[in-house]
Structure 1
Amino acid sequence: MTIPSDPHTPTPAAGWFPDPSGGAGSRWWDGHQWTDHVSDPALEAFGAAAVPGKVDPATPVYTPYIWLITLVLPLLSLVTLLFWDMDAYIRATLESPNDPVVQLADPGYLLVQGVGFVLYGLSVVFAFLDRRVLLQRGFDRPFHWAWTFLGGVVYIIGRSVIVRRRSGTGLLPIWVYIGVFVLSMIIVSVKVSQMISTMMTVLPTLS
């Protein structure tokens, strides 16, 4: 690969290219310059992956998208849970146990479920955009966005570990997610205790 000398001509994106020094293997281009990472041609012949390249330690490792997945989306989910009148839902469920329409028509229940699906879809989109930015910044083979289909936390952990290996830093999203998870457990515990209290109040009136 020949690097264009014209400053107005865009340089190639990060990737493995034929070694410009004439070596038999491939050399990693980080999007700005050639690195010292060279693949083994013997391994390439068998389709083995080349050695992952490192990035400059000064390269930014966080994007707005990873914070949307780690912090904003989970907090939005908690907000909808806080505004769900679970007392009304529990009462309707206990008073009409054989009528699923009454239970499923609860506005709070529908809101929580609907927001959950929307946030799930947004997490996949943001993971795709996050990975694209990492590639543009020269990260070699960052964690794939498709893992988000298994849950945002899977992408957060995988992404953080891979970025840490490439740059030496990048684990902060994991710690932020842990903090959000602890907060969510506290809120869920409070809601569950309220639900149990409501059940203990309503059940005697139904007997």
Structure 2
Amino acid sequence: MTNNTPPAGWYPDPTGAAQQRYWDGQQWTEALAAPTVVHVPVAAPPAKDWFQRHPGWTTLIVFWIACMIWQWEWLVPVIAIVAATVWTIRWIERRNNRLAADADRQNKLAALGDKRGIFGDYPPADAA
């Protein structure tokens, strides 16, 4: 007669509990182990900016600006110049951050001996 018992090891508890029990090859022992818990990272909700967190103040500020524009015509070009300046400064910061990230990436590739670290993603034909 063949022996069909499983080899010794940890198996799901035959009582149905959410744990594992040790099978010594002949019988279940009293040794218990907690099941492996898989942690799934949960994406954090996107951060809200000041205007999304304070809709009442945002409405009041926009209304005040609209009243100022209606009252003082000279405010329109001033706001346009300020907005263009802020946009330009942010564009320059984004460009500089992008260039710094590219330089860091190429530096790492050059340190590893990869030709893309010297020539970038488009090496000359004779360098390949």
TM-score in terms of structure 2 length? 0.31
Higher Cα Rg: structure 1 or 2?
A: 2
> Larger relative CO (CA 8 A, sep 6+): 1 or 2?
1
User: By percentage of residues, which structure has more strand?
Assistant: 2
